[in-house]
């Protein structure tokens, strides 16, 4: 489905799609908790729907009413067939952990893109706790034969990954002893917060997580708006003259706000208003107005806290004075596309000077123009939405296929054009 994004400032108020990461975790814990939990304002992208369908295959009873999903959990069983994670790495990796520690036996598979993504980083700690986990050359399809009441103990992360530590925590919810996870570097802590919301005694400081034995109970969880989805609106407003946009109820968890820190370091006019807590997660309304940007350096812990937003940071860099240097982002080569390569190709097609490195990019701003051809989306929702932000200050940009946006943000194009008309 070809799609054209037009130029023009962003104005008015908008609430973007619900947070994808939080929606996944809320559904999984609801499936494990005895009783009926309610998830309000969930993300309705294809990735989260893969998790919804997976918990149904495991025996959870789901009543999906569009703006809410009610889940009756606590009595899971082996699925009748393979669990199809589709394009969702979060579904595959976290559900492998869930099955591994709850005596469930399952086969996991996904689409061609997901089959290219690594699974051993999750499989190894699950094997260490006693589960039987097999992968296909380190990738999907994979199989899990779970155990019940694992011993607990200490787990050292090979890489600071929210998906890996979450798989470990889900696998050890029935552990007989305390569970310690070390080696984190402020990766997103939604699982830890969600576990606390569902009644568990858990501590976390960005480096170490400690989970004590216990049980979980059904809860109601309202999902904040997704900062990763809001990032495209924030960036477009920051780089497009006459923009003034207010984004409502956006999650501003510190493990996710590296993107905001980067744009503010570039001089962006971003204000967090009415900061508050929503069911265990910090949220705020975010107002963004246009102001010229300058280059900055992005690396280390900041990249960990902005890994999903590096592509849109690259768009901001294309409109900033000077050369922005991004490093420590090699993990982006294993996403839906090799995002370092695909955002490089996208920016170069728009006249931007980009040097690609093994773990990052050097982007020199000030030369972007309307491309002379339709751009590839690379079947990657974040690349496709980045093109919308590229178009805002310059003029019409077309992509060859906008269907991939539905992975994380159904209705994005309509919401985007409505904001530009405000």
**Active centre residues (catalytic):** 308
Count of beta carbons in the 10 Å neighbourhood of residue 127: 15
Cβ atoms of residues 296 and 324 within 8 Å:
yes
Q: What gap in Å lies between CA 417 and CA 66, rounded to an integer? A: 23
Cβ atoms of residues 310 and 339 within 8 Å:
yes
How does DSSP assign 8-25, residue by residue? ---EEEE--PBPHHHHHH
Q: Which of 26, 25, 21 is nearest to 40 (CA)?
A: 26
Q: What gap in Å lies between CA 48 and CA 261, rounded to an integer? A: 27
Q: What gap in Å lies between CA 233 and CA 285, rounded to an integer? A: 13
Task: Quote the crossing angle between the two packed helices 20-32 and 190-197, to the nearest 10°.
Answer: 40
Task: List, in sequence order, every residue forming a beta bridge with 362; answer none if it has no partner.
Answer: 325, 355
Residues written for the chain: 422
């Amino acid at each position: 489905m070809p799609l054209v994004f037009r130029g023009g400032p962003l104005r008015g108020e908008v609430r973007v799609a619900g947070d994808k990461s939080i929606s996944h975790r809320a559904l999984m814990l609801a499936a494990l908790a005895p009783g009926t939990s309610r998830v309000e304002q969930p993300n309705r992208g294809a990735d989260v729907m893969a998790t919804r369908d997976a918990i149904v295959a495991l025996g959870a009873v789901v009543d999906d009413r569009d703006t809410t999903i009610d889940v009756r959990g606590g009595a899971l069983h082996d699925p009748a067939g393979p669990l199809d994670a589709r394009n969702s790495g979060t579904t595959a990796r976290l559900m492998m952990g869930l099955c591994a520690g709850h005596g469930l036996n399952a086969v996991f598979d996904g689409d061609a893109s997901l089959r290219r993504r690594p699974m051993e980083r999750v499989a190894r700690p699950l094997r260490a706790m006693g589960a039987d986990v097999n992968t296909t050359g380190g990738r999907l399809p994979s199989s899990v034969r779970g155990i019940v009441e694992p011993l607990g103990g200490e787990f050292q992360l090979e890489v600071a990954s929210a998906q890996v530590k979450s798989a470990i925590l889900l696998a050890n919810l029935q552990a007989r002893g305390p569970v310690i996870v070390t080696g984190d570097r402020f990766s997103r802590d939604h699982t830890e917060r969600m576990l606390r919301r569902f009644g568990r005694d858990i501590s976390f400081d960005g480096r170490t997580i400690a989970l004590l034995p216990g049980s979980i109970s059904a809860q109601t969880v309202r999902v904040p708006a997704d900062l990763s989805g809001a990032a495209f609106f924030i960036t477009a407003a920051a780089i497009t003259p006459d923009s003034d946009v207010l984004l409502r109820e956006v999650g501003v968890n510190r493990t996710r706000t590296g993107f905001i820190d980067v744009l503010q370091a570039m001089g962006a006019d971003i204000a967090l208003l009415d900061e508050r807590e929503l069911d265990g997660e910090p949220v705020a309304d975010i107002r963004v107005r246009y102001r010229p940007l300058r280059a900055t350096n992005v690396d280390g812990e900041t990249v960990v806290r902005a890994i999903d937003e590096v592509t849109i940071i690259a768009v901001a860099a294309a409109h900033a004075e000077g050369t922005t240097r991004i490093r420590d982002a090699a993990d982006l080569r294993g996403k839906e596309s090799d995002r370092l390569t695909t955002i490089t190709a996208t920016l170069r097609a728009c006249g931007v000077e980009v040097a690609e490195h093994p773990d990052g990019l050097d982007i020199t701003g000030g030369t972007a123009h309307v491309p002379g051809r339709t751009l590839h989306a690379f079947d990657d929702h974040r690349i496709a939405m980045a093109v919308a932000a590229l178009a805002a200050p310059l003029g019409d940009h077309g992509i060859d296929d906008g269907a991939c946006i539905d992975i994380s943000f159904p209705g994005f194009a309509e919401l985007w054009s409505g904001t530009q008309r405000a």
